[in-house]
Amino acid sequence: MKIIITGGRQSNSSLSYFNKEWSNGVRGVVFEYDTDSKKIEEKFVYETPEELRPKNDYSISFKSGSIHQGKLYVTTLTEILILSLPDYKIIDKISLNIFNDLHHVIYVKGFLYIVVTGLDLTIEYDLDKKKISKFFNCYREKKTWERFSKKVDYRKINTTKPHFSHPNHVTIFNKKLYITRYKQQDVIVYKLNGDYLRTIELNNGIPHDGSIFNDEFIYTTVTGKIIKVNKKNESIKDIIDLNKFAVDDCSLGWCRGYNFCNDMNYVGFSRIRPTKFMENVKWLGSKINDKYKLKMPTRVEIYNKNFTKIVDTIELEKVGLNWIFSILNY
């Protein structure tokens, strides 16, 4: 089994660790981990071309992706790349003027569903017609095009923060879209036809990933919790707090990226940068001290089926991956 890890590489500058996230990444990187040999290997490195990013103080990174029928679909901040597997050849690239801080993409029946975090939006993109077919506003309190303009090239703008909802991840089940929202700590649910349905309150920290494994939605929170939600009635079944594995009350890191395969749970943790730390000081709480507050490195922890122990750790900083966005398998 191959585990694919997408993320970013920061500059070698000693100051890059302290930069804002929108001016910190120099390359998008994809690594493969072989579950049999336990070998980690760099497979693909990418730099967004100048015409598709801001001129100065830009960041380049892969964010979250998905796999469908031998193809890897993955986002940069302003592009969708479609790569063939296992050779990682670029099949297609998509970049639209409304793309800003893309976070996730999935393929479903000829359409891409793309989380455009910079515009608090998720879109449906028709691959045959090569155009957007639907918009799903992730902050319904205000109309998207009252806040933003379809005429502006948002690829050239470093950041549109503050975001009002900051959507992160999208998944589809039973003709419905489920989109995680950072600010509201919930999941907003739409019908595929564009009709709003409801929200699922998680309220256990900032949610990031949300995918289906067997009969459950599995949501990660950046604070180190795994939330299991029944996909039939959308009720919370279980909450697993991975902070029980913390040593000396050390923060585990920014928890983002999850997969379950071969009866193992793969969970990503990225080193917390000082800027991210300051934005989220409340949830770190007592972990704020000189010795431990930002020490844990970027890695994937492999837990057993029931999350009762850590089986292994994939160390990633030493091979040149500084933050994780998605953990996939094929």
Gap between the Cα atoms of 224 and 226, Å rounded: 7
pLDDT higher than threshold 60 for residue 233: yes
Mean pLDDT, range 100-119, rounded to an integer: 98
> What is the percent of the chain with per-residue pLDDT over 70, rounded to a whole number?
89
Sign of the CA dihedral running 116, 121, 124, 126: negative
CATH of domain 2-329: 2.130.10.10
How far, in Å, are 9, 32, 59, 64, 324 from residue 85 at the CA level? 22, 11, 26, 17, 20
Across 200-235, b (16+ Cβ under 10 Å) vs e yields bebebbbbbbbbeeeebbbbbbbbbbbbbbebeebe
Token duo for residue 257: 């990226």
Domains of the chain, residue spans? 2-329
| pLDDT > 70? residue 66 | yes
pTM for the predicted model, two decimal places: 0.92
Write down the pLDDT at residue 251: 84
- Counting residues of the chain whose pLDDT is more than 90, the rounded percentage is 84
Give residue 296's pLDDT. 87
Greatest distance between any 2 Cα atoms in the chain:
55
Q: What is the mean pLDDT of residues 89-112?
A: 98
Q: Is the pLDDT of residue 21 over 70?
A: no
pLDDT in tens, 244-302: 998 877 789 999 999 999 999 999 999 986 554 445 545 455 544 444 445 689 999 99
Beta bridge partners of 254: 270
